[in-house]
């Protein structure tokens, strides 16, 4: 299957915590980062997820926020790294962050946000993703 999501990170399921309806799946990527995904228990069953199973975290670039400095947020995925590229368009830009864990993530954000935050290659930043925005594929 080919999909348009820019962020597709291979790894293995590290853990699954099941609740009444949903489960929290933690995926350790080949690049060394942990991604937390909140998906339905039914999806866990249908995908045959279990610790050690190979899987992929799939995240649309529009779901990746960029933050600077220390932040207290409820978003479970906050990956520190460095901006390696900013590709500006007329309205939006694609910001590429190389995480300290070795993964590369792309974020689509507005030009206004680029200017307000002073984003440029070499700036230390965090890629922030809510666990409900992380899909799991097998």
Encode pLDDT of 69-122 as tens digits: 999 999 999 999 999 999 999 999 999 999 999 999 999 999 999 999 999 999
Does CATH number 2.40.50.100 belong to domain 7-137?
yes
pTM of this structure? 0.95
Q: What DSSP string describes 51-116?
A: TT-EEEEEE-GGG-EEE-S----S-SEEEEEEEEEEEE-SSEEEEEEEETTS-EEEEEEEHHHHHH
Q: What percent of the chain has pLDDT over 90?
A: 97
Task: Give the domain ranges of the chain.
Answer: 7-137
Encode pLDDT of 111-132 as tens digits: 999 999 999 999 999 999 999 9
């Amino acid at each position: 299957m080919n999909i348009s999501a820019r962020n597709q990170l291979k790894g293995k399921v590290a853990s699954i915590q099941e609740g009444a309806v949903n489960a929290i799946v933690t995926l350790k990527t080949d690049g060394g980062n942990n991604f937390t995904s909140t998906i339905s228990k039914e999806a866990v069953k249908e995908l045959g997820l279990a610790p050690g199973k190979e899987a992929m975290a799939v995240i649309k670039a529009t779901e990746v926020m960029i933050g600077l400095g220390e932040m207290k947020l409820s978003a479970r995925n906050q990956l520190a790294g460095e901006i390696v590229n900013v590709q500006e368009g007329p309205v939006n830009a694609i910001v590429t962050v190389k995480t300290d864990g070795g993964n590369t993530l792309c974020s689509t954000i507005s030009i206004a946000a680029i200017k307000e935050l002073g984003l440029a290659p070499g700036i230390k930043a965090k890629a922030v993703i809510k666990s409900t925005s992380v899909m799991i594929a097998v």
